[in-house]
A and B are shown apart, each in its own frame.
Chain A
């Protein structure tokens, strides 16, 4: 705990520090170290368990073409589903947050705020059931229409799925699932915008929307990105909702969002395959988990970088 004050001879003047400060510094440092240790432990476990999959003969790995060929389509499917969800959820979430904080009358805003928080607490299995039992069947005519009329766009090349268990449905379900988180965090930062800045814009003759563009959105930018990343993290790691909704076939890579043949995602694939796997199969699944771990880490680093790049303009200083 005293490691920051160099314990040298009588000439050095250790800064005077209160017991409370020292205790607090000690506990928070301890917590920080603990988090790093846990992370390192998880990473270590993944690496050790995944190693055999990399050294094993390629034919022994499920799929028969080696571990990279096994994981790559899964990684692709994971990223595709998550990005789709993010593209759907973020604009909506920011819109909802803006409505709640800037436009709705106070009573309504409060109610809506609670509702959004409540949505964030619904377990993902519920979203999964909703997706498969309610959403998917209602989307099939829409998919057929897309395949007929917009089939020249690779995204909608078809053939259209008749069950609705497509990547697009998964994107929608995941989007709805992460919307409350992104929205709740955006709402919090929008509420933090000092009224001084909002009034500065209004006094220049800004309309409400111009004021939002000048003062609220730029100020809330890092918060929106942070919320989106949290949502992306949840979408990347979502297991059950995807496992229920998606009709996946192993080993494909396609941008076709509405066909019955879709790449699976890492988390749902692990959930579905793990009970029946043994030996190298288990190691391969752990290796895919390691890939997900790295992807999530990379996404977070990227988000940090985006936020930091303009941190001097964040309004936090």
Chain B
């Protein structure tokens, strides 16, 4: 079930270093929201704060509020484990479990959630997830081989399959297509279009065309200079961002005048 996310006055720190400042944004359910911006401006950092993965790093913490359907995710009695079960994530660098087979990688999340499932049901789900990630054809004959034997792009798609297998309410994807060829990229974009019927999707991308193709809303992050915090400069419907942005900086970035 798709859920909306409301972020208010969010500051994200690595120890004393303020990496992202003052984010206020509402992410609509059943839509794709794209985050763009130059390298190092805090897109990944912001994304990781949405499912409480940020605080996994020593010293990393946030101030402010992130609410999912009105419930504060950083509330005092909220278990981050529950948050992460509802908000799935695909990382910037592919990270399948090298000690598990391809099949077990996809099934890992389901086994965690301790959902009782018959073997045939699980087989179906694994197949469906791999089909969704456009990987099924390549791996259907070697599901029991180690995941580490896949190419980088295949590993990334395996991670996507792993994330969608548990049917999260929200799916965060950090440059999911940066290591993929055009065909797989297209397949992933089709998948997003299909998934947004059910999930809320947030993607980080450096590919402007991709943001324009798949997203309804686009947020532009920017950074004033080294050591400065990244900020969400503009957040608007994708069409507006790419045709007639409010901010000069957004226009400059999109038209490639800096970045």
Contact = CB atoms under 8 A, between A and B. Distances in A.
Contacts of B145: 312
Interface residues of A, number: 26
B149 A204 contact: no
A314 B99 contact: yes
Nearest to A218: B99
B62 interface: no
A200 B81 contact: no
Interface of chain B, main secondary structure: mixed
Contact of A205 (B81, B95, B99, B146): B81
Contact of A214 (B56, B85, B86, B97): B97
Given A200-B96, A218-B100, A205 B91 contact: no
A214 B53 contact: no
A215 B86 CA distance: 21
Contacts of B162: 204
Contacts of A205: 81-82, 84-86, 109, 112-113, 166
Contacts of A204: 84-85, 88, 108-109, 112, 162-163, 166
A206 B91 contact: no
Contacts of A210: 112
Contacts of A312: 145-146, 148-149
A315 interface: yes
B89 interface: yes
B236 interface: no
A207 B81 contact: yes
Contacts of B82: 205
A188 interface: no
B98 A200 contact: no
A78 to B, nearest CB: 34
B51 interface: yes
A197 B97 contact: yes
Given A205-B85, A317-B148, A219 B113 contact: no
9 contacts: A200-B159, A203-B84, A204-B112, A205-B86, A205-B166, A207-B81, A214-B97, A219-B98, A317-B148
Interface of B: 51, 53, 56, 58, 81-82, 84-86, 88-89, 91, 93, 95-101, 108-109, 112-113, 145-146, 148-149, 159, 162-163, 166
